[in-house]
Amino acid sequence: MVNAAAITALKHDLAAEARRLGFVACGIAPAAEDALRAARLEAWLAEGRHGDMAWMQDRAHHRRSPQGLWPEAQSVIALGMSYAPAADPLALEAAPERGRISIYAQGQDYHDTVKKALKALARWLVMEAEKRDLGGADVKVFVDTAPVMEKPLGAAAGLGWQGKHTNMVSREHGSWLFLGAIYTTLAFEPNVPGRDRCGSCDACQRACPTAAFPAPYQLDARRCISYLTIELKGPVPLEFRKALGNRIYGCDDCLAVCPWNKFADSAARMQAFLPRAELVAPRLADLLALDDAGFRRLFSGSPIKRIGRDRMVRNCLYAAGNSGDPALAGPVRALLDDPDAAVADAARWALGLLEP
């Protein structure tokens, strides 16, 4: 029989170690299936709102619950790292000749930073469980790339709640949290789930440039600018191109307007997430000139590198067309015969706006 006092003490010390490693939020959720969470996932997939993200459907049976992925799991340790910005995420809206990159992607790749800290915490947990005669502990760590429902698990673990924009919201850190999870065979006492505090506020719903929220707490990824600029291969549908504005990688609008962000402190952000100067307000003219080697040099160590040169240049062409800046017509014209069909298509569209 597990010593209840010992595992309670371990949970307390776990939270302290998590803070030492840079996590600002730590909580425990059960690993068993939550019927409502699983039903919501199935309904979202059935409606096709995941778009081209086929991996969501392919491994839905693993996403239903932690135990669906790893039957031996007893607890989920949900963790959050802050990337709260010091500057206004929407400031570049008034600078159409510049490209807007989502705040989370302006620093080092969060996958690397969060996973390194998760692995350190997991190693600590295994050693402490053995030291305290708790029968040993098996662990698995996850950051965003595995079939893990980090946001609902974070809410179940008390890190905050899923807001009307479907992202995590924390009373202390607003909408600016990178999430990770450790699955473990240790049976910790779960935390009290986060309580929804959105109230009557609909700021995030009104802020969305593409009406990607069919209803509060529901997202149609096919209309989301983050999906369109990052996940979608090929041309962006015509109906959304003007709404992209100068957003070339992701979108912060629904997050940035959340009133809970007034409590977020940029001083809590990890050093690795500080914005790189060249990614804060890049000139569209410079980005349009990128070849593959130049793209890889500029975005080395950034999460942006995974979309490749063609998709980035495609996005920049939409932004160039939306800029109304005739000085960009030359760089756009140079891409009319680009080998990538989506880039060439975007160049024709942009030139049609710059040289009507």
What does the pLDDT profile of the chain (356 residues) look like in tens digits?
A: 568 899 999 999 999 999 999 999 999 999 998 777 777 777 766 777 767 776 566 676 667 789 988 999 999 999 999 999 999 999 999 999 999 999 999 999 999 999 999 999 999 999 999 999 988 899 999 998 777 899 999 999 999 999 999 999 999 999 999 999 999 999 999 999 999 999 999 999 999 999 999 999 999 999 999 999 999 999 999 999 999 999 999 999 999 999 999 999 998 898 999 999 999 999 999 999 999 999 999 999 999 999 999 999 999 999 999 999 999 999 999 999 999 999 999 999 999 999 97
Please state whether the predicted TM-score (pTM) of the whole model is above 0.85.
yes
Beta strands 25-30 and 139-142 are unpaired
Q: First vs last Cα of the chain: how many Å apart?
A: 77
Task: Give the up-direction half-sphere exposure of residue 159: CA atoms within 13 A in the CB hemisphere.
Answer: 37
Q: Which of 13, 138, 144, 340 is catalytic?
A: 144
Q: What integer pLDDT is reported at residue 46 of this predicted model?
A: 77
Q: Is residue 144 among the annotated active site residues?
A: yes
Q: What angle do CA 347, 349, 355 make, to 5 degrees?
A: 90
Which of 74, 63, 101, 77 is closest to 21 using CA atoms? 77
User: What phi and psi, each to the nearest 5 degrees, are found at residue 100?
Assistant: -100, 120
